[in-house]
Amino acid sequence: MLLVLLVVVVLNFLMLHLAPGDIADTIAQTMGGADEQDMAELRKQYGLDQPFFIQLFNYVVRVALLDFGHSHFYNLPVFDLIMERFPATLLLVFSAQILSLFVGILLGVYAAQNPNGLSSLFVNMFSLFGYAAPVFWTGILLLIAFSLHIPIFPVSGMRDITIESGNFFVHFFDVLRHLFLPMITLASIFFAYYSRLCRASMLEVLGADFVRTAKAKGLSKKDVLLKHALKNSLSPVITFAGLSFSAVVSGAILVETVYSWPGLGTLAFNSIISRDTPVLLGILIFSTLMVTVGNLLTDLTLKALDPRIKI
C-alpha cells in the first residue's frame, strides 16, 4: 500500500517535472504576462529552482509528516482544497455507483429469466447504449434536452446559492435536483457491465444444484430468484464494482466538466494543465486511499453476502 503510494508520487512528480512549462508560466498566463524577475521569484518561492531530487525528497518528507503542502496556483493548503471538493465528488461517484448497480442488477435479473428472448436482447442493447456512447456526449445531449428544451433541471453546479431558507429538506431537494443529470450520465456507463455480469452469473447460479432443489421444494419463482439465485450471483458484480472505482473517477472528470460539478475531477484536470504538482499529487494520494477504502468495503459486502469468504 505505502509502496504503491510512493510509486504514484515519484512517477507523477517526475512526469509533471519533465513536462514542458511550469507553474510560473501558468501564473504568467492568468496575469496576462509577467517579467523574468517575477517568474524567477515565483520559482524560488515554490522551490522549483532546486534540483529535482531535492524537490522530490522535500515533498515526500512533508507528505510523510501528513503535510500535503500548498497549492502553487491557489496559495491554499492542498488538504483544504481537496476537502472543499471531496464531498461533491463522493456524492456524485457513490450515487452513480449505487444507481448503476441497482439498475444493472435489475436488468440482469430480468434478462436472466429468459436468456435468449427478445426482452434479453432489448435489455442488452439498452445497457450497451451508455457503454458505447462517449460519456461527455451523453451528458451534453441530456443537458440540451433537459436544461434547455425542457428546462426541468439546472444547468450547472451543485446547489442554488440564492435559496435563503434554512430548511434542511429544501436544500436536500435542491442538491438532488442538481445531482440528477450528472448522476444518470455517470451511471449510464456502467449499466452494461453490471447487467451483463449479473445476467451471466444468474444463469450460472440458476443452473446450480441448490437452485434446482429449491425449485423442487416448491418455492415460488420469485422466491427462488430473489432469495437464492440473486444472493449468490451478486458477488462477481460487487467484486467488479470495487475494481471499477478508478474508471468511475475517470468518468467523473468528464461529467464534472460538462455539468460544472464542483468536484475533485475538475480540480485534478486543472492541476495538470497548470502544473500545480502538489495538488495533483495530493489528489492522487487521496484517491488511492479512497480506492483502498472502497476495496475494503467491497470485501466487507462480499463477506456479508457469503460468510464463507475470508478476508
Partner 1 sequence: MLENEEIEEPTIKPVKEIFQTFFKSYSAVTGLIILIGIAVMGFIGPIFYPTDPFDMVWMPFSPPGADGFLLGTDYLGRDILSQIINGARVSIAIGFSAALVSCFIGVGIGSFAGFYGGWVEETLMRITEFFQVLPTLLFAMVIVALFGSSVLSITLAIGAVSWASVARITRSEFLRIKELDFVLASRSSGSNNMALIFKVILPNAAAPIIVQSALLVGAAITFEAGLAFLGLSDPNVISWGQVIGSNRVYILDATYTVTFPGVAIFITVLAISLVGDGLNDALNPKLRSR
Partner 2 sequence: MNKHFLKTLLLTATLIFTSLGVCFAEPKKGGTLIAAVGNSPRHLNPAVQSGIVTGFPGAQLFATPIRYDNNWEPQPYLAESWEISDGGKTVRLNLVKDAVFHDGVPIKSSDVKFSLETIKKNHPFKTMFAPVVSVETPDEHTAILKLSSPHPALMLAMSSQLMAIIPEHVYGDGQDPKTHPQNSENVVGSGPFKLVEFKSGEHIILERFDDFFIDGRPYLDKMVLKIIKDPATRTIGLENGEIDFYAFENVARNIVRLKKNDNLTVTPDGYAAIGPIDWLAFNTKTGKTADVNVRRAIAYAIDRNFILKAIMLGVADEARTGIHPGSPFYEPNVEPYNLDIDKANKILDDAGYKKGSDGMRFGLTVDFGWPGLKPNAEYTKAALKKIGIDVTVRASADFPTWAKTVSNHNFDLTWDTVFNWGDPVIGVHRTYQTSNIKKGVIWSNTQQYSNPKVDAIMEKAGVENDMDKRKALYSELQKMLANDLPVYWTNTLPYHTIYSKKVGNPPMGIWATSSPMDMTYIKD
Question: Largest Cα–Cα distance in the chain?
Answer: 85
Binding-site partner at residue 73 among partner 1, partner 2, none, CB < 5 to 8 Å by type: partner 2
Alpha helix positions (H), 114-244: 118-132, 135-143, 168-206, 209-216, 221-223, 231-243
The nearer residue to partner 1, 126 or 180, going by C-beta atoms, is 126
Binding-site partner at residue 266 among partner 2, partner 1, none, CB < 5 to 8 Å by type: partner 2
Cβ(180)–Cβ(153) below 8 Å: yes
Q: Is 267 exposed, middle or buried (0-12, 13-18, 19+ CB in 10 A)?
A: buried
The nearer residue to partner 2, 3 or 31, going by C-beta atoms, is 31
Site for partner 2 in 285-304 (CB under 8 A): none
Residues in the chain: 311
Radius of gyration of the chain (CA): 24
Binding mask 238-257 for partner 2 (x = CB under 8 A): -------------------x
The nearer residue to partner 1, 175 or 200, going by C-beta atoms, is 200
Q: Which residues bind partner 1 (CB under 8 A)?
A: 3-4, 7-8, 12, 15-16, 18-19, 121, 124, 128-129, 131-137, 140, 144, 148, 192, 203, 243, 246-247, 249-251, 253-254, 257, 268-269, 272-273, 280, 283-284, 287-288, 291-292
The nearer residue to partner 2, 27 or 284, going by C-beta atoms, is 27
Task: Count H helices and E strands in the chain, helices first.
Answer: 14, 0
Cβ(277)–Cβ(1) below 8 Å: no
Q: How far is the CB of 293 from partner 2 (least distance, A)?
A: 24
**Nearest-angstrom CA–CA distance, 199 and 204:** 9
Which of 36, 66, 221, 308 binds partner 2 (CB under 8 A)? It is 36
Q: Which residues contact 171 (CB under 8 A, 6 or more apart)?
A: 159, 163, 165
Instruction: Pick the piece of the chain touching partner 2 (CB under 8 A) from 18-26, 47-55, 197-205, 212-220.
Output: 18-26
The nearer residue to partner 2, 177 or 215, going by C-beta atoms, is 177
Convert 251-279 into a string of H (helix), E (strand) and C (coil): HHHHHHHHHCCCCHHHHHHHHHHCCCHHH
The nearer residue to partner 1, 69 or 265, going by C-beta atoms, is 265
**Nearest-angstrom CA–CA distance, 297 and 238:** 10
Instruction: Pick the piece of the chain touching partner 2 (CB under 8 A) from 102-110, 224-232, 263-271, 298-306.
Output: 263-271
The nearer residue to partner 1, 234 or 280, going by C-beta atoms, is 280
**Nearest-angstrom CA–CA distance, 247 and 190:** 10
Instruction: Pick the piece of the chain touching partner 2 (CB under 8 A) from 140-148, 189-197, 223-231, 294-302.
Output: 140-148
Q: How far is the CB of 81 from partner 2 (least distance, A)?
A: 7
Binding-site partner at residue 242 among partner 1, partner 2, none, CB < 5 to 8 Å by type: none
- First-residue to last-residue Cα distance in the chain: 16
**Nearest-angstrom CA–CA distance, 281 and 199:** 39
Cell reading at 93:
461517484
85 binds partner 2 (CB under 8 A): yes
